[in-house]
Structure 1
Amino acid sequence: MTFKELNISEPILRALSNKGYETPTPIQEKAIPVALSGQDLLGIAQTGTGKTAAFAIPVIQKLDQQPSKGQKRELKVLILTPTRELAIQIDDCFKEYTKYTNLRHTVIFGGVNQNPQVEVLKRGVDILTATPGRLLDLIAQKHISLNNIRHFILDEADRMLDMGFIHDIKRLLPMLPKQKQTLFFSATMPAAIDKLSKSILFHPAKVEVTPVSSAVDTIDQRLYFVEKAEKSALLYTVLVKEESKSVLVFSRTKHGADRIARVLNKKGIGCEAIHGNKSQGARQRALTNFKSGKTRVIIATDIAARGIDIANLEMVINYDLPDVAETYVHRIGRTGRAGKSGTALSFCSQEEKTMVKDIQKLTGKKLNTVSLA
């Protein structure tokens, strides 16, 4: 199936064609017709499945075909997302897909001066991507009204729960019009998220793609049993050996990420760390440098890395194994996308061995152990 067969309008088809996108991903193929019909949607999909376009394309098309009445431009689409990085990435997608329309979009998030964001909002926007805290702040200051929202998109709902945003979401819901379309996306459906979805969706169509284990089937997964104190030396050895590859290294803690980056930089491997203690500017610069190839290694914590979409990422290294097996799947799913091959290496110390069992149970695959000898 092609995007044209999904009855996508000409302006959006042109924008997709510019990016070389002709064929929808499974989530796009299933979700776009539902969203275009106006029905509420419950989408179960992980990062990297193409879900941003699955909600961006239909809402852009519906707005473009139903222009505003009157002179004043009012906010009609709200996308709520947990992290700054993901918010910026979603807004970048809207920038691409609205290229041949007259629609205006912007993004707001905390941790930076609000004035430039307020100035853009004053000029009038149709589509707003926001993180919960900054959105509530600007609503309280009367810079944003949600009275005319036609489409509400809640993205990465399970991560919202992990980061403690559920209370903020519950504060926002009564501010939205009763008559609207809601598109709800989550990678997993714990009980609290299932309950939230039932409270805000009206007769939704459920769309589910990529069961958790199948995302890892195309990735070459290798396991190194290594003492905690020896991980740094092993990482250096691997990066020297794989000197042409782009590599995302996962650390469990912010301090750990900084320490790994310091050690590698001292040894002559250019890399940067991203985590919640870094300023927004520093995080964006690090990502830009990584995406452009200026630095080929980036060290990240899980929350900082959630939503980072790096095409052609060749290798993921779990310097520390995650506490939850599903997080392992999210991490390694950043490589081997769109039919490309990918490699995931995991460093396992004595105290992390129980995690390996959980991971193998979840994925149904035995990790290939690599000898250090």
Structure 2
Amino acid sequence: IVFIGPNSEIISKMGDKDMAKKTMRKAGVPVIPGCDIVENLEKAKTEAERIGFPLLIKARSGGGGRGIRLVKNINEFENNYKSATSEAQSAFGDGMVYIEKYLKPVKHIEMQILADNLGNVVCLGERDCSAQRKNQKMIEESPAVILSEETRKQMIEVSIKAAKAANYRGAGTIEYLYTADGSFYFMEMNTRLQVEHPVAEMVTWIDLVKWQIRIAAGTELSFNQDDIEFKGHAIECRINAENPYQNFKPSCGKISMLHIPGGPWVRFDTAIYQGYSIPPFYDSMIGKLIVFAKTRDEAIRKMKAALCELIIEGIEYNADFAAEILSNEEFESGNYTTDFIEEIL
């Protein structure tokens, strides 16, 4: 039996965010200013004062926004340190944390990579994942309109370098924070196919699921970086069973009626069906709505129409709120940052 994806050593190495940062720093990849693992509160305070406030305390393991605390001054530090380590221990079985400088305002830009077993690595461009709430992505799009061609080329080159430094195999994502002055910093690497991978597929016409299986089977990539062309614009909205107008209250229950939007280049990835019951035990995401068009403006219009066509009766869901985000002037400009949604709530 062959595992589809990188081996356990790479998964462990990149899953340890402290080790991942050391690997990237050694390879010459820019990383967010900060420190390595802090073993106790006193050492953490010393490093915090050296780094300067505001800063982030971040769990070494896991993801999904768990074990992260924003600290604005030294008076808040001890409580947030204890809270972050406790949550990390509970969620991931590992309470170790490290500290990073808090960069704001920033965009969250991630680069999609594919690497075969013969050392060939290609980057399938970027996704702008800045539309998020509490570190949870809500809308993703590709390409990121704010990036210049020069910066895009630099990020592609750095991402390929990062993948080679990690000896990576399969499909993976390298995530960066992008600042207003055009700088970008490695944040973490996800050693898997991500929720938002369809937007990369749509703008490159490369089937990521197919290629991760082929790579696991030992097939060499049949294309190189020069073959990658970016066409059109794709947007994905995460459809969650929750009520954004009641503090994102989770919603569960039986789906009494389901209408899925259709049409050219409209895709809905989901496991739900009419009669399916949404349980209260798991993540609130129940589907992904993805559209593709020749231009960003057209993609936004198409997504708004698809959100209107999506009908899920029996539960509450966030389609109307997603449409409001798409209609916001800041989103339309492409200049929105990671704190954009929190500011409009």
TM-score, normalising length from structure 1?
0.24
Higher strand proportion (structure 1 or 2): 2
Max Rg structure: 1
TM-score, normalising length from structure 2?
0.26
Higher helix proportion (structure 1 or 2): 1
